[in-house]
Structure 1
Amino acid sequence: MPRVLRLLCLVLLSLSLPCSLPPTLAQATPWGADYFPNIPLLTQDGDHVRFFDDLIKDKVVAINFIFTGCGDSCPVETARLRQVQKLLGERVGQDIFFYSISIDPYNDTPATLKRYAQKFAIGPGWTLLTGEAADIEQLRRSLGLYIEGLENGRSKDHNLSLIIGNQATGRWMKASPFESPYILADRLANSLHNWKQANAQAEAEAPVIRPPSTGEQLFRTRCSSCHTLGDAEPGITRGLGPDLLGVTRQRDAHWLTRWLKEPDRMLAEKDPLAMLLYEQYNQLAMPNMRLGETEVAALLGYLEEETTRLNGR
């Protein structure tokens, strides 16, 4: 394998672009047993596995890193992947595999991970894992999911990137965990299995799609993994949280604004309505999405617009 080609692939991976090796080099892919640390890990069922040998060798996979005590991004990542899993159906566990690996192995025991999986109704083919802290850090570094300077062992701040790939072909790419579930499902089900050349004619005939408003973009990326807005999207069942159609008319505006900005604090204060929602929805805490005043206003504006549009008034 020429050194230049290997370096090029590494650069492409770091830029979140697909890295596809020429077919003649399929047997010489750098993404093999010599590249990935074959670290020991423990599943939510207490089974001992090796990262390369048991989890990714000759498989199409989606891998992210979470911790169960996370109160902001991790629940949203998990909820989004749950949508992707539902879209892929029985293929998850057959030719596509999901792995969520804890960055807090001291607290995330197999039993803790199993409870987390049950809360999110995670299905077969999606394994939650823990292990030794040093091994997990080494793995994150090799996958390009560790940011120097951000993570010092005392903080649980971490890179939110999801990595998906096909180990057999050497094709890997980073993806946002807040991406549309349909796009993620298509990449796992199609793009990573079969490399398809761009179709210039299809691109030329593609319809022009209106750009989403700021509020709609926030709903799609931050809210839609747990909430529906009117009807659930095709292939996706009832959300992990309440449907948000009409919520701007059902809740006090001040309460709703504060709930979007600091749900963790409201739960800590045992706000009655916050606690009611917490108990009603399987004790899944609303994550703090770090929304500012402008973002909250845009999101509430979009929810009101959709309520008016869908209700006709």
Structure 2
Amino acid sequence: MGWKTSKILSRLLLLTLCSAQWSFAAVSESAPAQQWGRDYFPNTPLINQDGQPVRFFDDLIKDKVVAINFIFTTCSDSCPLETARLRQVQKLLGERVGRDVFFYSISIDPETDTPEVLKHYAEKFKIGPGWQFLTGNKDDITLLRQKLGLFIKGVDDGQTKDHNLSLIIGNQSTGRWMKASAMENPYVLADRLGKSLHNWKLVSANTNDYAEAPSVRQPSVGEQIYRTRCSSCHTLGDTEHAGMRSIGPDLLGVTRQRNPAWLTRWIKEPDVMLAEKDPLAMLLYEQYNRLAMPNLRLGDVEISALLTYLEEETERLQPQAPVSTSQASH
């Protein structure tokens, strides 16, 4: 064998290995059904929140663009955030959810999460049509999580709270799947579900020019925390998008209305304060559809940065009149 032939074969082997690395993200057009079809996905029997039996592959994902996450209704941190974020995405996609984009939330605690419990959970979040909440056999659901790459050891028995990446979006017919986060921007998720997963192989007719790109302001630490943790449930004086986030109270002026120590503790351990039946915590719980504030697992430095941002935004949008010398003397 000459050195040229050997070199060509080496290049072919390298290309083959590289192609294998990308197979999960973009499947060959010739056989997507064989790789990401019935032979890969289990046709798990499930029951939705209305008590209707369905099969995972045949009824839920076959030839569909889908968003799938795994939750449990007694979760006090990541699951409520993820549900609230997906609710925003559902609002952005509108009537397309249930028509050409489908949402599925599957319980990892089926012993607790009966169809009735899941239905009540969906009602508390004011979930619209086209989004199914599902339960079934625990072993079957565990296998399903493993097949989708969303099984995290220790979540089921409470040994870890690290289950932020429990969301996957994809198009079964093309074999394109990607993991996403509960902290993802809802507009990005909506764009992926509504556009790129439908026509990802088509070249966009739009052209972009760097000269026309807007300048991007670097957000503060507090603003980043607000946008990734709080904005799925709360507005900050943003009446235009209030319908997407009408799960909790508007936060504009909250640093003026609440005692700083109470507010700090409420952000840090709302589950503990609700368990203690703190009067104000219980009032908010009842006022907002008995939907518990999730534990965001923020430290003191992060909470301080968040409160500083909320205070700065309140002052920017609702500046207080300066206190005169005569008023201060009284």
Q: Same fold (TM over 0.5)?
A: yes
The one of 274, 292, 299 aligned to 1:267: 274
Aligned residues: 303
- The answer for the alignment partner of 1:202 in structure 2 is 208
- The answer for the alignment partner of 2:53 in structure 1 is 48
* SS of residue paired to 2:106: strand
- The answer for the alignment partner of 1:297 in structure 2 is 304
| 1:94 Cα offset (Å) | 0.2
Residues 155-178 of structure 1: CA distance to partner in whole angstroms, max 9, x if unpaired?
474532210001011111111111
| 1:200 Cα offset (Å) | 10
* SS of residue paired to 1:64: strand
- The answer for the alignment partner of 1:124 in structure 2 is 129
Distance 1:123 1:57 in 2: 22
- The answer for the alignment partner of 1:256 in structure 2 is 263
- The answer for the alignment partner of 1:177 in structure 2 is 182
Contact in 2 for aligned 1:29/1:169 (Cα 8 Å): no
Contact in 2 for aligned 1:26/1:170 (Cα 8 Å): no
Contact in 2 for aligned 1:228/1:243 (Cα 8 Å): yes
Q: Normalization by structure 1: what TM-score? A: 0.90
The one of 99, 103, 112 aligned to 1:98: 103
* SS of residue paired to 1:192: helix
Residues 97-138 of structure 1: CA distance to partner in whole angstroms, max 9, x if unpaired?
000000101100111001001101111110000111111110
| 1:5 Cα offset (Å) | 7.4
- The answer for the alignment partner of 2:164 in structure 1 is 160
The one of 298, 306, 311 aligned to 2:313: 306
Contact in 2 for aligned 1:6/1:30 (Cα 8 Å): no
Q: In structure 2, what residue type is equivalent to 1:258?
A: R
Indicate yes or no: 2:213 matched with 1:215: no
Are residues 28 and 62 of structure 1, via their aligned partners in 2, closer, same or farther at CA, if it must alter by over 3 Å?
A: closer
| 1:270 Cα offset (Å) | 0.9
Distance 1:298 1:60 in 2: 38
| 1:146 Cα offset (Å) | 1.2
Distance 1:234 1:123 in 2: 16
* SS of residue paired to 2:57: helix
Indicate yes or no: 2:91 matched with 1:86: yes
The one of 282, 286, 289 aligned to 1:279: 286
- The answer for the alignment partner of 2:21 in structure 1 is 8
* SS of residue paired to 1:146: coil
- The answer for the alignment partner of 1:141 in structure 2 is 146
Q: Normalization by structure 2: what TM-score? A: 0.86
The one of 42, 45, 48 aligned to 1:37: 42
| 1:193 Cα offset (Å) | 0.5
Which stretch of structure 1 is more off in the superposition, 254-263 or 202-211?
202-211
Distance 2:233 2:32 in 1: 41
- The answer for the alignment partner of 1:247 in structure 2 is 254
Distance 1:229 1:243 in 2: 6
Contact in 2 for aligned 1:110/1:130 (Cα 8 Å): yes
Residues 186-228 of structure 1: CA distance to partner in whole angstroms, max 9, x if unpaired?
1100010011558996162422311211100000110000000
| 1:8 Cα offset (Å) | 2.1
Residues 32-74 of structure 1: CA distance to partner in whole angstroms, max 9, x if unpaired?
1111111111111111111000000000000000000011111
* SS of residue paired to 1:41: strand
Distance 1:35 1:233 in 2: 44
* SS of residue paired to 1:228: coil
- The gaps in structure 2 that reach 5 residues or longer are 1-14, 321-330
- The answer for the alignment partner of 1:16 in structure 2 is none
| 1:21 Cα offset (Å) | 2.9
Distance 1:155 1:290 in 2: 15
Distance 2:168 2:199 in 1: 18
Distance 1:182 1:243 in 2: 20
